[in-house]
Amino acid sequence: MKHGGSIHKRVMYYAQQEKEVLYCDLNIKDTGYTERQAEKSREKYGSNLISGRASDTIFYRLRRAFINPFTTVLLALAVVSFITDMLQVESFSRNVTASPIIFCMLVVSGMIRFIQEMKSKKVADHLVSLLHSTVTVLREGKWTELSSSELTVGDQVRIFAGDRIPADIRLTKTADLFLSQSVITGESAVLEKTSGKISIQDSCTYSDYKNIAWMGSAVMGGSGEGIVLAVGPDTVYGGFSGMISQRKNKFDQGAASIARVLLRFMGVLIPIVFVACGLTKGNWAAAFLFALSVAVGLTPEMLPMVINACLAKGSASMGKKQTVVKNINAMQGFGSMDVLCVDKTGTLTGDIILLEYYMDILGNESERVLELSYLNSLYHTGVRNHLDTAVLKYREMPGLGEQLGRAAEQKAKLDEIPFDYERKIASILVGGEENNLLIVKGSIEEVCRRCRYVEYKGEKREKKPENSSDVHAVVDEILEDGMKVLAVAYKPVKKNNLTKEDETDLILIGYLAFFDAPKKTAADAIGKLKALQVGIRVLTGDQKSVAASVCHRLGIDTSQILTGAELDAMSEEKQIMQIENTMVFAELSPKQKAEIVETLQANGHTVGYLGDGMNDLPAMVESDVGISVDTAAEAVKEGADVILLKKDLNVLEEGILEGRKAFSNMTKYIRITASSNFGNIFSIVIASVVLPFLPITSVQLLLLNLLYDTLCLVLPWDHVDQDACSRPLEWSGRTLGRFMKFFGPVSSFFDVITFLFLYFIFCPALCGGEFAQLTETAAQTQFIMLFQTGWFLESMWTQVLILHLLRTRRIPMLQSRPSGPVMFVTTVGILFFTVLTFTPLGKIIGMMAMPVSYFGFLVGVVILYLFVVTVAKGIYVRKYKELF
Residues 6+ apart with CB under 8 A from 371: 403, 404, 407
Among 747, 668, 706, which Cα is nearest to 833's? 706
Contacts of residue 642, defined as CB under 8 A and 6 or more positions apart, other chains included, come to 318, 323, 324, 325, 326, 327, 330, 334, 625, 626, 627, 628, 655
What is the phi/psi pair of residue 482, to 5°?
90, 15
Pairing of strands 561-563, 168-180: unpaired
pLDDT at 55: 47
State the angle between helix axes of 69-82 and 698-711 in degrees (0 to 180), rounded to the nearest 10. Answer: 150
Contact (Cβ atoms closer than 8 angstroms) between residue 442 and residue 423: yes
- Quickly count: other Cβ atoms within 10 Å of residue 690's Cβ: 12
Question: 784: part of which helix (H) or strand (E)?
Answer: helix 777-806
Long-range contacts of 369-373 (CB under 8 A, 24+ apart): 369/488, 369/509, 369/510, 369/511, 369/512, 370/394, 370/400, 370/404, 371/403, 371/404, 371/407, 372/439, 372/441, 372/488, 372/490, 372/509, 373/439, 373/441, 373/486, 373/488, 373/512
Helix axes 466-480, 544-553, angle to 10 degrees: 20
**Buried/exposed code over 443-481 (b: 16+ C-beta within 10 A; e: otherwise):** bbeebbebbebbbeeeeeeebeeebeeebeebbeebbee
pLDDT exceeds 50 at position 4: no
From start to end of 232-350, where are the E strands? 323-325, 339-342
Mean pLDDT for 781-792 is 93
pLDDT band at 52 (very low <50, low <70, confident <90, very high): very low
Share of the chain above pLDDT 70, in %: 82
The single-letter code of the amino acid at 743 is F
Nearest C-alpha neighbor of 343 from the set 738, 22, 613, 663: 613
DSSP-derived letter for residue 382 is: B
Q: Which residues pair with 454 in a beta bridge?
A: 461, 508
pLDDT for position 89? 44
Residue 815 burial (C-beta neighbours within 10 Å; 0-12, 13-18, 19+): exposed
CA atoms of 342 and 678, how far apart (whole Å): 44
pLDDT confidence band for 248 (50 / 70 / 90): very low
Distance CA 151, CA 62 (A): 28
Q: What's the Cα-to-Cα distance from 406 to each of 370, 375, 432, 713, rounded to whole Å?
A: 13, 11, 13, 69
Q: What is the pLDDT of residues 830-856, one digit of tens each?
A: 998 899 899 988 888 889 999 999 999
Provide the CATH topology of domain 258-316+656-880. Calcium-transporting ATPase, transmembrane domain (1.20.1110)
Give dist(CA 392, CA 353) in Å, integer.
12
Residue 245 has pLDDT above 50, yes or no: no
Measured CA distances, 628 to 122, 183, 413 (Å): 23, 16, 33
pLDDT, greater one: 332 or 488: 488
AA letter at 423: R
Question: For 626-697, where are the alpha helices, taking DSSP H only?
Answer: 634-639, 649-690
* pLDDT given at position 71: 63
Distances (CA, A) of 366 to 187, 359, 370, 404, 457: 39, 5, 7, 13, 9
Rounded CA separation 229/296 (Å): 49
pLDDT on residue 119: 64
For residues 467-474, give the mean pLDDT: 72
Helix axes 698-711, 820-836, angle to 10 degrees: 160
- The model's pLDDT over 660-692, given as tens digits with 9 standing for 90+, comes to 888 788 888 888 888 887 888 788 878 877 888
Q: Mean pLDDT of all residues in the chain?
A: 81
Angle between helices 250-281 and 736-757 (to 10 degrees): 30
- Architecture of domain 7-57+131-246 in this structure: Distorted Sandwich (2.70)
Residue of 160, 226, 294, 221 whose CA lies nearest to 19 = 226
Q: For 686-737, how does the pLDDT look when each residue is reduced to its tens digit (9 = 90+)?
A: 887 788 888 888 778 777 877 777 787 787 788 888 887 888 877 667 788 8
CATH 1.20.1110.10 segments of the chain: 258-316+656-880
- Where is mean pLDDT largest: 192-201, 472-481, 509-518, 858-867? 858-867
Q: Which of 291-305, 310-324, 530-544 has the lowest mean pLDDT?
A: 291-305
Choose the most confident range, by mean pLDDT, from 240-254, 412-426, 790-804: 790-804
Lowest-pLDDT choice from 216-220, 749-753, 847-851: 216-220
Instruction: List every span in the chain annotated with CATH 2.70.150.10.
Output: 7-57+131-246
Has residue 867 got a pLDDT over 60? yes
Q: At what angle do helices 698-711 and 284-298 cross, to 10 degrees?
A: 10
CA distance 143 to 31: 9
Question: Quick one: pLDDT band at residue 299, thresholds 50, 70, 90?
Answer: low
**Which numeric CATH code is attached to 355-511?**
3.40.1110.10
Burial of 569 (0-12, 13-18, 19+ CB in 10 A): exposed
Looking at the predicted structure, is the pLDDT value of residue 124 above 80?
Answer: no
- How many Å apart are CA 377 and CA 778, to the nearest integer? 95
Q: Is the pLDDT score of 2 beyond 60?
A: no
pLDDT at 339: 93
127 pLDDT above the threshold of 70: no
pLDDT in tens, 622-640: 888 888 877 676 667 777 8
Which residues are catalytically annotated?
343
End-to-end CA gap in the chain: 59
pLDDT attached to residue 788: 93
pLDDT of 385 = 76
Residue 597 confidence (pLDDT) above 90: yes
Q: Where are the beta strands (DSSP E) in 154-312?
A: 156-160, 168-180, 190-192, 212-213, 218-230
Q: What is the model's pLDDT at position 329?
A: 66
Domain with CATH 3.40.50.1000 in the chain: 320-349+519-652
Per DSSP, what are the bridge partners of residue 156?
138, 227
Segment 48-74 shows an average pLDDT of 61
> Band of the pLDDT at 250, cuts 50, 70, 90?
low
- pTM of model > 0.75: no
State residue 646 phi and psi, 5-degree precision: -140, 130
Distance CA 625, CA 627 (A): 6
**Which candidate, 561, 546, 563, places its Cα nearest to that of 483?**
546
pLDDT digits over 684-696, tens only?
A: 878 877 888 888 8
Neighbours of 179 (CB within 10 A): 24
Q: What is the pLDDT of residues 252-289, one digit of tens each?
A: 666 667 767 777 777 777 788 788 778 877 777 777 77
pLDDT tens digits, one per residue of 494-550: 888 888 899 999 999 999 998 877 777 788 888 888 888 999 999 988 888 888 888
Highest mean pLDDT among 4-8, 87-91, 325-329, 532-536: 532-536
Residue 188 reports pLDDT greater than 70? no
Residues 314, 320, 324, 325, Cα dihedral to 10°: 10
The predicted structure's pLDDT at residue 512 = 94
Q: CB of 866 within 8 A of CB of 801?
A: yes
Half-sphere exposure for 677 (CA within 13 Å, toward CB): 30
Pick from 677, 681, 862, 838: nearest CA to 754: 862
Q: How far apart are CA 725 and CA 712, in angstroms?
A: 21
Give φ, ψ of 356 to 5 degrees.
-85, -40
Q: Which CATH architecture does the domain made up of 320-349+519-652 adopt?
A: 3-Layer(aba) Sandwich (3.40)
Centre a 10 Å sphere on the Cβ of residue 368 and count the other Cβ atoms it contains.
16
Left (φ > 0), alpha (ψ -120 to 50) or beta: where does 440 sit?
beta
Residues in the chain, total: 884
Contacts of residue 670, defined as CB under 8 A and 6 or more positions apart, other chains included, come to 258, 300, 303, 736
The answer, yes or no, to whether residue 753 has pLDDT greater than 90, is yes
| Residue 428: per-residue pLDDT | 94
Nearest to 489 by CA among 356, 363, 379, 368: 368
